[in-house]
Amino acid sequence: MALFTFGTPAQRFAKKFNPLRDTVYDADAMFSGSRMSADLAALELLAESVGADSAELADWLWLQFVVFRKRQLHTEGLPLGLRALALRAAKGGLTPTERYEQHYALGESALEAEDYDTAVEHLQQSAHWAAHEGATLSTEQKLGIREETGYALHEAGRFDQALAHNRQLLADAQSAFGSATDERLSGLINNLAQNAYELGEHAQAQAWLQQRLALGQALQDTDIVLDTLFQLGVLAHETGRPAEARALFQQRVDIARTKDDEDLLEGALATLAEFEEREQQGQPG
């Protein structure tokens, strides 16, 4: 007796794949990530049978990437997402919004996988498409993508590129926010200090930290002030200026005393004590 299989490979794939896709993208749905990955894996050969460059295979690769990402299995999922976007880009037809969203997802996953060069590539692409007039992102969101790109450049060890990137981003952010004393600039200025430090430009790193300290003081933001004083103290210690370092760590204690926060004061005192111990032992910071 003959065994008949009804429908084309694409039709059979859709019948099994679409319910899984709908479940994954349903914000209210609950499902087992490992079970979903297994169910999708069972469809791999069927997806491939539709065609090596088919939209079905691209959809299967992307959905498995999305599930792996939800499971925080970034190293496993990233190659699938990269293949999926390559297939989709080759076919064309992606909107600017789809492009920035998919490049951003890959960039974020690459960051988590500590594949920083891949993260740079896709975050840059995301920023490019986010700037397209057809994209629907706020100015702050666009700047956020670029800030993550700077972070990825730094983590990739591309400190000179990170410094140049973040300098331009700071100017653009100040223009967009209409102020040089916006709280949202704090992290970016701190990143510039880190870029300069890794390049051995300690005086420039100190200057960026002083700018961040002034920002925190203008905003009366104790967290920014105390964190920046700490970094300035560590930098002073590491560059052979113990008296300056001691004064900075003592300043943190003095500020903490005015805040009626025992935990804050305890932390500042502990940092000062650790510095004094290191100085007595002649240890670097």
Give domain status of residue 241, yes or no: yes
Range of the domain at 270: 221-285
pLDDT in tens, 193-212: 999 999 999 999 999 999 99
**Tokens 């990437």 — which residue?**
65
Per the domain annotation, does 41 fall within a domain? Answer: no
Inter-CA distances, 160 with 97, 117, 193, 230, Å: 31, 14, 12, 25
Question: Would you state the structure tokens that stand for residue 180, as one six-digit string?
Answer: 């040089």
**C-alpha–C-alpha distance, residues 234 and 236, integer Å:** 5
What's the pLDDT at 1? 45
Q: Extract the tokens encoding 218.
A: 């203008």
Is 235 among the domain residues?
yes
The structural domain count of the chain equals 1
Q: Give Cα 45 to chain centroid, integer Å.
A: 34
Residue 132 is classified by DSSP as: S
Question: Which pLDDT belongs to residue 4?
Answer: 52
Highest mean pLDDT (candidates 2-6, 38-42, 95-99): 38-42
Q: Could you report the per-residue pLDDT of 153-188, keeping only the tens digit for each?
A: 999 999 999 999 999 999 999 999 999 999 999 999
CA distance 152 to 113: 12
Q: Give domain status of residue 260, yes or no.
A: yes
Distance in angstroms (rounded) separating the CA atoms of residues 101 and 116: 18
* Tens of pLDDT, residues 103-140: 999 999 999 999 999 999 999 999 999 988 777 889 99
Please report whether residue 283 resides in a domain: yes
- Residue 281 within a domain: yes
User: What span, in angstroms and rounded, lies between the C-alpha atoms of 234 and 29?
Assistant: 48
Q: How many CA atoms lie within 13 A of 58 on its CB side?
A: 14
Label residues 228-252 b or e (16+ Cβ within 10 Å = b).
bbbbbbbbbbeeeeeebbbebbebb
Sign of the C-alpha dihedral computed for residues 93, 97, 101 and 107 taken in this order: positive
Encoded tokens for 234? 């560590």
| 243 confidence band (pLDDT: 50, 70, 90) | very high
Neighbours of 284 (CB within 10 A): 7
Q: What is the pLDDT of residues 208-228, one digit of tens each?
A: 999 999 999 999 999 999 999
∠ CA 114-117-122, nearest 5°, is 100
